[in-house]
Amino acid sequence: MRNDIDLKYFKKRLDERLEDITARQEQQKQETAPVELDQARVGRLSRMDAMQQQAMSQAVARLTDLERQRIKSALGRMESGDYGYCVLCEEEIAEGRLRFDPSIMTCISCAEKADAK
């Protein structure tokens, strides 16, 4: 377990972000509801626009769910004492990188290697 970083600070940020995501996911459920196909009530272009909005909302929901999973994983690593270490090379992740994104899982070296592929 790392003693050189303020784990309480990072846990608080992760918990706050998780609460925010959970609240936003409740709102998104309404936005991803099926589009009504009643032509008498909604014109063709309006229906197409609604379907496009629905598709964008679904994409945002998928990204939000991925972020939620990353946060839960980071909280799990805190409990196991592995928080702050790269999941690939097991080296310490720089505190500045964690401050930017407390759910980050890799050090900058491993992230650069992954981007280069």
**What residue ranges define each of the domains in the chain, with the CATH number in brackets?**
7-116 (1.20.120.910)
Q: Which residue from 79, 77, 98, 73 is spatially nearest to 13, judged by alpha carbons?
A: 98
* Residues in the chain, pLDDT under 70: 30-45
At residue 68, the pLDDT reads 95
Rounded Cα distance, 50 and 109, in Å: 43
Write out the DSSP string of 37-73. Answer: --TTTS-HHHHHHHHHHHHHHHHHHHHHHHHHHHHHH
Query: 10-27, pLDDT tens digit by residue?
Result: 999 999 999 999 988 877
Degrees (nearest 5) of the Cα angle 79, 84, 85? Answer: 105
Q: What is the pTM of this model?
A: 0.76
Two tokens, residue 42: 């909604």
Rounded Cα distance, 74 and 82, in Å: 9
Handedness of CA 43, 33, 23, 49 (dihedral sign): negative
At residue 58, the pLDDT reads 83
Q: What single-letter DSSP state applies at residue 90?
A: -
CB 77 within 8 A of CB 83: yes
At residue 77, the pLDDT reads 96
